[in-house]
């Protein structure tokens, strides 16, 4: 868009979105006319490309033009079919998604040429390995073959595609084409046997007769004269053989077509694609047989039966056709010709697809996934003097494409506005859904009625089908027949026709042949395609206006202009217009959105003229943009002058620097030499001082060694700085020189103290409490208890019992005392050492043993004299308590898991130095006043507890650390 803003007065606007009077159809067509007059045949409507057929060769499709559009932003340069091709290709590679280019327009608009230009662009610009060049050639050579067998001269176009084509081009992960596939549909087989006056049959018939070698024609039984073949020219046969007059195209030669040259092109293309000579011979035999079949004539036999009266080699057909009437025989002949040609065309496409198919032996598919670009070249909307089932299918397809086109345009516009946070203004447009429903609605649409009539028992006919339509669709605003029409319009519709009022205009369809042709299900795969680039014919204003209307270009433009005429990313807008504002020139350093806001405020934009989205600026009126562009044009001379001034200044300064360099070069060398001499003398002095200091290093500090000693100190301190310990566990320390031994010891101590203080400040309260308990455990059990090393890495828990495990009566008994720690233990009583399960609960002032809800024993910390444990890993401990009064029971023997944790908790909570006795063989304890019990400890493979013969308690425990 930006590339031709300054030339808009001469060539109009290259994007219709910038059209000031965008609601005027006349202004729309005038913009097309002005650009067409300057050979600018391409114009955008946003992302849609509008093309006007110039009907002459333009020098805009060279390899240099392809390179110009390669990798360039869509709006950066003027509109072109190459811009659409490149944008689609780059979207496929960057987004990793399949893409599709859809081409539509009336006959003669240039659809086939546009598809060829797209394929040529990909074949030329995409990376292709040497071994893939054959595929590229097949891709390009498929066009002349398909055109020869599928294109024909019509009233609108000398090279009109009479079939629909959808081509997939497959690309690998590098963007190189590796395969392709063609889907053909809706071949106009009726053209084989009948053409309107002024039209021709398919090109291949004329190319064969005009360009084929004489030996080939003789072998096929053909003559180099198209006038002799009924399917190619107008023929009248006298009534003596009962042959009716048939009006054909009568155009064996066309000035714009060179059939002889085209024949050579097709023969070469067949070879490149990979057809063998015998396959080509079979194909040409089929083409010749169709011509011979068209010349087959019928006459009446002796008994009144119908007979073939021509060519003895066709007499074998007489047995099949003889029971038929004359009309039936002619219809059977024509049906056979159409079927043969149709199957030949299908086989031809299959053969081309085989040559284009992706082959594993050509490319290793494991290197990456592939993507596809689809190319749809479809019939345009058709209105002829006589319209039949073929035109109905074609026009219905275009009706669906128009519906999808409008929906997708509205959807994409709305999504962009929503993404940028801009309010969407709805646009009223004609919704052709009513026409699509008329044709496709289930059970009561035109197609459903046609299918039902084909399947109906009895003898359905085209007229009965028309009557069924009148009964079902009568009263619909877009459906008219002779019976349903009023007196004013009845003359325009015959009794064998119905009229559909399409989006593009009114079309009369003859029902003759509808039922027979509907049996070809090939027509039913046309519903699911979309539409994009649009192509226009010669600049005939009436014809252009008709196409502008039926293609919905004005609605598309109104949708694009409903909100804002121009939208660009902040970076693009700021880069183009930043020179118009002192605040943004020469460079803007802040956020792009702020830079654009600064720029438009300086330019005096009114609030209703623009909106700022998340990533783009939206300008509502073209005049606002044009005014900005005019300001840029007025600013350019000053910019050029500034650049020229800067360049002259730079050039003169460079000249001066060269002169100065030449004049002062000798002085500069002298200065550098003197600097090097001073550095050398300084280095020598330093080395001398260092050597002398090393010699006097063991002497007291004196002038001879002070430099060396200072250097030693500095080096040691720098080494200490780089290699000092990083944590309290790191005991490494650099070895100091003899003169710094004492200082090093002080520094080491200070460093360690600082790390200790820093470590202590970082310790959390919970971890500090844990460490304090670990210290107590270390003081008691280190090197004393066999199980101590295994307990070191394990954290002490706050309690081994949950509050839910305490009986409510026990909690009530405690009152204000809170349980700080609890654990399950086993108590061995003093009579018989019977094991009894208990809960050991520790509060802040006493410990107690609990059995279910009953408090069995309370031990005040103040009364606890000492604790005895063994040096093994047995888990036994004896709590020594005084037994002076009868109320206090004797010493308590307990066994539990986590013995070290329990003893540490007791020692910590008692808040005093409790003596812990460590015994290797036995522990004595008071059973009652004057009585004593003994626990004997021995090592063994596993923990065992038993009563000995002497009344002692025997405990066997494994030794963990031998």
Q: Summarize the annotated binding site for ATP as residue ranges.
A: 105-112
Nearest to 800 by CA among 787, 781, 819, 827: 819
Determine the 3-state secondary structure of 512 from DSSP: coil
> How many beta carbons lie within 10 A of that of residue 833, not counting itself?
18
Neighbour tally for 205: CB within 10 Å: 27
Q: Which positions make up the binding site? A: 105-112
DSSP 475: T
Residues forming beta bridges with residue 953, ordered by sequence position: 935, 947
Please check whether residue 943 is in contact with residue 874, taking contact to mean a CB–CB distance below 8 angstroms. Answer: yes
Contacts 24+ apart (CB under 8 A), 124-127: 124/63, 124/66, 125/66, 125/67, 125/70, 125/86, 125/89, 126/89, 126/171, 126/175, 126/176, 126/177, 127/174, 127/175, 127/176
Task: Return the H-helix or E-strand segment holding 171.
Answer: strand 164-171
Residues 6+ positions from 802 with CB-CB distance below 8 Å:
none
- Asked if 907 contacts 916 with a C-beta cutoff of 8 angstroms, the reply is yes
Spatial contact of 953 and 936, defined as CB atoms under 8 Å apart? yes
Structure tokens at 435: 């026409």
> How far apart (Å, rounded) are the C-alpha atoms in residues 152 and 232?
12
CA distances from residue 336 to 190, 347, 919 in whole angstroms, order as listed? 11, 16, 116
Residues in the chain: 962
Enumerate residues 6+ apart whose C-beta is below 8 A from 383. Answer: 391, 505, 507
Q: At a CB cut-off of 8 Å and minimum separation 6, what does 554 contact? A: 23, 25, 28, 548
Residue 624: name the closest of 640, 635, 639, 608 by CA. 608
Give residue 832's region: left, alpha or beta (phi > 0; psi -120 to 50): left
Cis status, amide bond into 394, omega within 30 of 0: no
8 A C-beta contact, residue 526 and residue 390: no
- The token pair at 399 is 């009706």
- Find how far residue 513's CA is from the centre of its chain: 48
List C-alpha distances in Å: 333 to 68, 161, 233, 324.
Answer: 54, 25, 17, 11
Instruction: Return the closest-CA partner of residue 439 out of 481, 397, 405.
Output: 397
**Are 903 and 916 within 8 A, CB to CB?**
yes
């Amino acid at each position: 868009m930006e590339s031709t803003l300054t030339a808009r007065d001469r060539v109009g606007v290259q994007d219709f979105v910038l059209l000031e009077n965008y609601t005027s159809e006349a202004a729309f067509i005038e913009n097309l006319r002005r650009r067409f007059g300057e050979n600018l045949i391409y114009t955008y409507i946003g992302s849609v490309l509008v093309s006007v057929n110039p009907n002459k060769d333009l020098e805009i499709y060279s390899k240099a033009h392809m390179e110009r559009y390669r990798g360039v932003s869509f709006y950066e340069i003027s509109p072109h079919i190459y811009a659409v091709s490149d944008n689609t290709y780059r979207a496929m590679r960057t987004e990793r998604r399949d893409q599709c280019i859809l081409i539509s327009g009336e006959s003669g608009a240039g659809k086939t040429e546009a598809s060829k230009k797209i394929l040529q662009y990909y074949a030329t610009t995409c990376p292709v390995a040497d071994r893939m060049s054959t595929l590229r050639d097949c891709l390009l050579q498929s066009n002349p073959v398909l055109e020869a067998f599928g294109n024909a001269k019509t009233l609108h176009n000398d090279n009109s595609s009479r079939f629909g084509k959808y081509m997939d081009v497959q690309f690998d992960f590098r963007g190189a084409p590796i395969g392709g596939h063609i889907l053909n549909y809706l071949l106009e087989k009726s053209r084989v046997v009948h053409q309107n006056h002024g039209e021709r049959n398919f090109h291949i018939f004329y190319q064969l007769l005009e360009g084929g070698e004489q030996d080939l024609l003789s072998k096929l039984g053909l003559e180099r004269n198209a006038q002799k073949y009924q399917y190619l020219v107008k023929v009248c046969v006298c009534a003596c053989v009962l042959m009716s007059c048939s009006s054909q195209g009568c155009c064996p030669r066309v000035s714009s077509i060179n059939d002889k040259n085209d024949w050579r092109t097709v023969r070469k293309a067949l070879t490149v694609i990979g057809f063998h000579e015998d396959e080509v011979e079979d194909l040409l035999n089929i083409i010749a047989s169709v011509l011979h079949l068209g010349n087959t004539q019928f006459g009446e036999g002796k008994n009144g039966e119908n007979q073939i009266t021509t060519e003895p080699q066709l007499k074998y057909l007489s047995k099949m056709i003889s029971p038929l009437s004359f009309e039936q025989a002619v219809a059977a002949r024509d049906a056979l010709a159409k079927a043969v040609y149709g199957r030949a065309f299908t086989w031809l496409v299959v053969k081309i697809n085989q040559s284009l198919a992706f082959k594993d032996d050509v490319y290793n598919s494991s290197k990456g996934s592939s993507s596809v670009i689809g190319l749809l070249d479809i019939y345009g909307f058709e209105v002829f003097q006589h319209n039949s089932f073929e035109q109905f299918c074609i026009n219905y397809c275009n009706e669906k494409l128009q519906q999808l086109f409008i929906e997708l345009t509205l959807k994409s516009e709305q999504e962009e506005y929503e993404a940028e946070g801009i309010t969407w203004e709805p646009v009223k447009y004609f919704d052709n859904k009513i026409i699509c429903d008329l044709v496709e609605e289930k059970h009561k649409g035109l197609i459903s009625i046609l299918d039902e009539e084909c399947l109906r028992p009895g003898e359905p006919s085209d007229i009965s089908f028309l009557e069924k339509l009148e009964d079902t669709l009568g009263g619909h605003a877009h459906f008219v027949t002779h019976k349903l029409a009023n007196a004013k319009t009845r003359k325009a519709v015959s009794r064998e026709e119905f009229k559909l009022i399409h989006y593009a205009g009114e079309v009369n369809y003859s029902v003759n042949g509808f039922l027979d042709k509907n049996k070809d299900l090939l027509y039913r795969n046309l519903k699911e395609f979309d539409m994009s680039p649009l192509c226009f014919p010669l600049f005939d204003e009436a014809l252009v206006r008709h196409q502008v209307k039926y293609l919905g270009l004005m609605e598309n433009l109104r949708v694009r202009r409903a909100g804002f005429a121009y939208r660009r990313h902040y970076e693009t807008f700021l880069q183009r217009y930043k020179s118009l504002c002192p605040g943004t020139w020469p460079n803007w350093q802040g956020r792009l959105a702020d830079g654009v806001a600064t720029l438009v405020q300086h330019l005096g934009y009114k609030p209703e003229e623009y909106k700022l989205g998340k990533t783009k600026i939206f300008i509502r009126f073209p005049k606002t943009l044009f005014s900005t562009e005019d300001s840029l044009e007025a600013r350019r001379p000053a910019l050029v002058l500034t650049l020229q001034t800067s360049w002259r200044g730079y050039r003169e300064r460079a000249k001066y620097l060269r002169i100065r360099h030449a004049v002062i070069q000798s002085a500069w060398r002298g200065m550098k030499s003197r600097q090097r001499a001073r550095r050398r003398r300084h280095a020598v002095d330093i080395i001398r001082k260092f050597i002398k200091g090393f010699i006097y290093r063991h002497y007291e500090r004196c002038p001879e060694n002070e430099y060396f000693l200072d250097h030693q100190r500095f080096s040691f301190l720098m080494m200490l700085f780089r290699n000092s310990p990083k944590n309290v566990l790191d005991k490494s320390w650099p070895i100091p020189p003899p003169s710094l031994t004492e200082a090093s010891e002080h520094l080491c101590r200070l460093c360690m103290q600082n790390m200790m203080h820093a470590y202590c400040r970082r310790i959390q309260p919970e971890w500090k409490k844990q460490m304090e308990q670990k210290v107590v455990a270390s003081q008691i059990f280190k090197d004393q208890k066999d199980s101590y090393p295994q307990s070191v890495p394990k954290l002490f828990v706050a309690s081994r019992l949950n509050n839910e495990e305490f009986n409510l009566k026990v909690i009530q008994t405690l009152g204000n005392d809170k349980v700080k720690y609890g654990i399950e233990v086993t108590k061995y009583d003093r009579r018989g050492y019977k094991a009894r399960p208990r809960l050991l609960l520790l509060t802040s002032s006493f410990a107690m043993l609990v059995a279910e809800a009953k408090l069995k024993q309370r031990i005040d910390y103040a009364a606890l004299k000492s604790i005895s444990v063994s040096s093994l890993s047995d888990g036994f401990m004896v709590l020594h308590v005084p037994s002076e009064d009868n109320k206090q029971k004797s010493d308590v023997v307990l066994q539990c898991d986590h013995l070290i944790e329990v003893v540490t908790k007791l020692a910590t909570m008692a808040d005093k130095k409790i003596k812990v006795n460590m015994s290797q063989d036995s522990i004595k304890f008071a059973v009652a006043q004057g009585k004593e019990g003994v626990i004997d400890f021995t090592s063994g493979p596993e923990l065992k507890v038993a009563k000995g013969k002497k009344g002692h308690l025997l405990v066997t425990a494994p030794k963990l650390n031998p």
